[in-house]
Amino acid sequence: MSAPSQPPPTKGIRHVALFVHDLGVMERFYAEVLGYAVEWRPSERELYMTRGADNLALHAVDAQVGQGRESRLDHIGLLMATPEDVDAWAAWLESRGIALDTRPRLHRDGAKSFYARDPEGNRIQFIWHPPIADT
């Protein structure tokens, strides 16, 4: 079989897996603050959560694993349906005592976003991006 001239389209990034040090704290953040639901617990050290079309895997690691190493993850992006949703998420997070890394702002490409962090420091971008907002 020969290679296609272009790869088939994708539906975007719908799954992220994170190594975490405190599975309970991270589960509570993603469930209680971001609205994810537990889908499956294959073991006491693994957890799969869903929200809409998203799937998030949390894998517990020992305390010494990853210490002193920079994460290769820059950020996770959560797509918003409208620019107003970006502001609403910022207000929601702040009402829960979560500091924002940046305030919601418009970008030169027409997108609107801000950044915040989960309890273990992973950066999350809440973004409305017009070309993909309706997908």
State pLDDT tens for residues 17-57. Answer: 898 989 999 999 999 999 999 998 999 999 999 998 888 98
At 110, the amino acid letter reads G
| Domain of residue 85, CATH code | 3.10.180.10
- Which residues form the domain of 84? 74-135
Query: pTM score, two decimals?
Result: 0.77
Distance CA 135, CA 119 (A): 29
pLDDT for res 61:
85
Q: Is residue 91 part of a domain?
A: yes
Picking from 63, 64, 29, 74, the residue whose alpha carbon sits closest to that of residue 47 is 29
Residues 52 and 78 in one domain: no
Report the number of distinct structural domains present in the chain. 2
Q: Residue 28 — φ and ψ, nearest 5°?
A: -60, -45
Range 101-106 contact pairs with CB under 8 angstroms and sequence separation of 24 or more: none
The pLDDT tens digits for 77-116 are 998 888 999 999 999 999 999 999 999 999 888 899 999 9
Is a pLDDT exceeding 80 seen at residue 4? Answer: no
CB 78 within 8 A of CB 16: no
Q: Is residue 11 part of a domain?
A: yes
| Residues forming a β-bridge with 76 | 124
pLDDT for res 67:
55
Range 4-11 contact pairs with CB under 8 angstroms and sequence separation of 24 or more: 11/53, 11/135
Is a pLDDT exceeding 50 seen at residue 68? Answer: yes
pLDDT for res 70:
47
Q: Is residue 69 part of a domain?
A: no
Picking from 39, 35, 113, 45, the residue whose alpha carbon sits closest to that of residue 76 is 113
Residues 49 and 8 in one domain: yes
pLDDT for res 92:
92
Boundary-marking domain end, from 39, 62, 85: 62
Picking from 38, 68, 60, 66, the residue whose alpha carbon sits closest to that of residue 51 is 38
Q: Is residue 68 part of a domain?
A: no
